[in-house]
Structure 1
Amino acid sequence: EMYNAFYYLSNMFYISRTAFDTPSSPLVYLPRAPASSRSRPTGESMKAYRIADSVYALHADIDSHDLFEGIWPIPHGVSLNSYIVKGEKTALIDLVRDWCEAPKVLAAELAELGIDLAKVDYLILNHMEPDHTGWLGPLKQVTRGFELVATPKALRLAKSFFGLDESFCTLHPVKSGDRIDLGKGKVLRFEEIPHVHWPETMATYEESSRTLFPCDAFGSFGAIREEAPFDDQLSESELAFFEEEAVRYFANIVVAFSGPVKKALEKIDTLDIRILAPGHGIVWRKNPGRIVELYRRLAAWSSAPTEPEITLLWSGTEPSMGPLVKAAIDGARAEGVQIHVHKVPETHISYILSSVLRSSGVILGVPYARDPLPSPLAHALDDLGRKRITGRKFFWFLQGKGLEPEGERLSEALEAEIDRILEKYQMRWEALESAHIPRHTEEFVYQQTRALVMELLAGGAIKGHVQELVGAP
């Protein structure tokens, strides 16, 4: 709990305003979004959307060079979603933070629905991270007397960070299976889903419409087009974009908690879900099972063989490393599998995590340097360990041409440094048997890549088609 409190405090500030910008290179992966996914200018109003009878979605889209959580790039924006359920009483589910005028947008959408914020009966907080609670402090100036509904752990955080007491609102703790009857057939049921991705997290389920409000669970990066907030309003390519952003969101924020995600899925599987309304991303009303099954695969991918894909991480200069990198690409192409190519440190770790999560195989391309494993590659491997992405097959190659016999010493030191990081995080990565031969020519890298593919396919993966992500996709 102390760790999560510190994490919460660090997220309260969002101090970084660094834009994500990857230099153009034929050997660097440059993620781009379809034009239709770009968000509107900051402060432009949106409208509230009816999800079901007396159930509404409120969206505030963020188009900013800020980093999400102060860490993750959001070049295509992100949505902050709140929801209204109206019976005889009114419940507001989750808030926003003061980011790109999001509170102003939310207030305008509430006014559009004819809802006076001062007359909301229940404020449901599924999750206490600042992007869902940051407006709670200023709310003191607008309304009092409502019931704040959350798990006991969440209420302790709310009292600590926002100074809440009974003079402001009634604190209403709930646990799994508890219900609140709003009247007119609207009943909210609560299910605790701890560590998805904070320990206090819960999901809210509206029984009559069969709508699940899981906050960060099943979320994604990417701003929402005003005219298309639902899955059934998007083309297949637009859905694929949000799914890719969901993979990156999961890899960046949730993957280290894949065990709790699996337990949460067991609870959610007992619910009859017709609509899934997350805290970030589109609302799934046609096929909510699509995003649920994606999260199920992602949780499994953290520690088990995934897709028959390879991620190549390399560092150094293109004149020296380029031919070896190309040999690896050619080796993957020869076997018909997808390869994701990332040059570090140019590529943000956000995209590296996403690629490695979906890849069963990893290749490390290491230049000759003073350190056996140059710091950009060491940091990337360390981050993969911290995120608990385990069970990959891999090999590495060292650009040591012309350095014999020093190349053998460098190879041994490099192997020891990689093994140290793998052991530190108990990553259970399996190196190819012949990976550590210090004669890493283009032919060696080409053949090793083909051997890696054979290992992946022998492990049960289904052979796919080539989709080389080099340059703009």
Structure 2
Amino acid sequence: MKIAENVYWVGVRDWNRRIFDALIPLPKGTSYNAYLIIGKNGKALIDTVNPGFEKDLEDKIRSLTSIEEIDYVIMNHAEPDHAGAIPHIMEIAQKAKLVATGRGAKIAQIYYHVPQQRIKVVTDNEAISLGDKTLRFIEAPMLHWPETMFTYLEEDKVLFPCDFFGSHLAGGIYSDEIEDLLVHAQRYWGEIMMPFRAMAQKALEKIAGLDIRMIAPSHGPIHRKPERILSAYKQWAAGETRPKATIAYVSMWGSTDAMVKQIAETLTSEGVELAFHNLAVTDVGDLAKDLVDSRAIILGTPTVLGGAHPLAVYVTYLFKVLRPPTKFAVILSSYGWGGGAIRQIQEILGDFKIEVVGALEINGPPTNENMKHIVEIGKALAKKIFEVGA
């Protein structure tokens, strides 16, 4: 697929993949985007594909040019879904140099056994000429590995940012043709980029002066109208939130369920937008998406053997790891013969900077008095949420 003059998408679409990193659900599959640039005096391959798809990549390249003629293999990011085919390509393209940052060069030797003499280390803002095509490299560490860089094709104004600006979608060519693209992009941001908001802001500042006509990420559709995704990333990187609360809960015998439904009714009546996640059945990716712009989280859990339910423990730890811009929390819990769930949740959160507006632990099913208390907590939380935007 031609995306610019002598610039081609040569990636693959993985329609059947349903899990990433043994953690992230992929309900729509994903793609591993690689790009071939053919210049007058050189040829470069930007990124490769996931292990198992080497032959697909090879066939696509051979339909355009001889792999043996490739001069450079650009490794924007060393994770196997983008770099896994490097050994295969470089075995065929014997004259090719692997282009990477200093940190990337070390990883390439460890993971892909690329000899040091076949690696060209580039520094920030360094460029390589292919004759009529100039590739400029922009270091973008921790987006989301330390060796990450972007590649900018100066003449065609195309930015190749690897994982940045991506989405896990197997289908679709251009993002402006996908109606709910930002939903998938926000989910992807929440799962992968959200913990690195500070580094994302720095990267956005570094590319602010570039004339970007197209963004070609390594997952999902290409942005030929990049303003929408750039605007969204600026908001997410800045930690901008909405008057929204995310409820994440699990219930065994209905008590916690009744408690969270009461606070949900209260928040809704106060005008707060809600995202509701029953942890027994929820998609973790959807939960991560909702945390991107939520000002509050409500954690609900029964007590299991002196602590929180394992699903609540898991999502609390995940919340802490993803580091969303969420400002407020409420913790609701019930127990049969012994408490301890709230204590454990608070211990996991530790020094995470979040204000706990209310924490209520009850014995048995909630009483009318318990419900009144929950209404009070809900109203106090709603007030906090709207004060942030005032």
Q: TM-score, normalised by structure 1?
A: 0.76
Q: Secondary structure of the residue that 1:367 maps to in structure 2?
A: strand
Q: Does the 8 A contact of 2:250 with 2:280 survive in 1?
A: yes
Q: Does the 8 A contact of 1:190 with 1:205 survive in 2?
A: yes
Aligned-pair identity in percent equals: 30
Deviations 1:202-225 (A, max 9, x none): 100011111100001111111123
Deviations 1:411-443 (A, max 9, x none): xx44433332222xx2111122x5447577334
Q: Does the 8 A contact of 1:334 with 1:450 survive in 2?
A: no
Q: 1:344 maps to what in 2?
A: 279
2: distance between equivalents of 1:85 and 1:212? 13
1: distance between equivalents of 2:96 and 2:307? 60
Q: 1:9 maps to what in 2?
A: none
Q: 2:330 maps to what in 1?
A: 395
2: distance between equivalents of 1:256 and 1:383? 11
Letter of the structure 2 residue corresponding to residue 150 of structure 1 = A
Q: 2:384 maps to what in 1?
A: 455
1:250 to 169, 189, 200: 189
Deviations 1:180-220 (A, max 9, x none): 11112x11111101111111111000111111000011111
Q: Secondary structure of the residue that 1:198 maps to in structure 2?
A: coil
Q: How does 1:1-400 map to 2 (within 5 A)?
A: 48=1, 50-88=2-40, 89-99=42-52, 102-112=53-63, 114-165=64-115, 170-184=118-132, 186-225=133-172, 229-232=173-176, 234=177, 238-240=178-180, 242-286=181-225, 288-301=226-239, 306-317=241-252, 319-389=254-324, 391-399=326-334
Q: Secondary structure of the residue that 2:221 maps to in structure 1?
A: coil
Q: 1:18 maps to what in 2?
A: none
- Kindly report the root-mean-square deviation, in angstroms, between the aligned alpha carbons of the 2 structures: 2.3
Deviations 1:94-141 (A, max 9, x none): 000234xx33332332233x2111111111111110011111122344
2: distance between equivalents of 1:93 and 1:415? 49
1: distance between equivalents of 2:165 and 2:253? 39
1: distance between equivalents of 2:253 and 2:266? 18
Deviations 1:155-194 (A, max 9, x none): 111122222226xx7321111111111112x111111011
How far 1:255 moved relative to its partner? 1.8
How far 1:269 moved relative to its partner? 0.9
Select the structure that is richer in strand. 2
Deviations 1:376-417 (A, max 9, x none): 2122111211223355212122335xx7xx7xx83xx44433
Deviations 1:218-269 (A, max 9, x none): 11111123xxx1133x1xxx342x2222222222222222221111111011
2: distance between equivalents of 1:321 and 1:436? 11
Gaps of 5+ in 2: none
2: distance between equivalents of 1:269 and 1:343? 40
How far 1:66 moved relative to its partner? 4.5
Gaps of 5+ in 1: 1-47, 462-473
Question: How has the CA–CA distance of structure 1 residues 145 and 431 changed in structure 2, closer, same or farther, with 3 Å as cutoff?
Answer: same
How far 1:74 moved relative to its partner? 0.6
Letter of the structure 1 residue corresponding to residue 62 of structure 2 = A
1: distance between equivalents of 2:209 and 2:34? 24
Q: Secondary structure of the residue that 1:441 maps to in structure 2?
A: helix
Q: Does the 8 A contact of 2:77 with 2:145 survive in 1?
A: yes
Q: 1:417 maps to what in 2?
A: 344
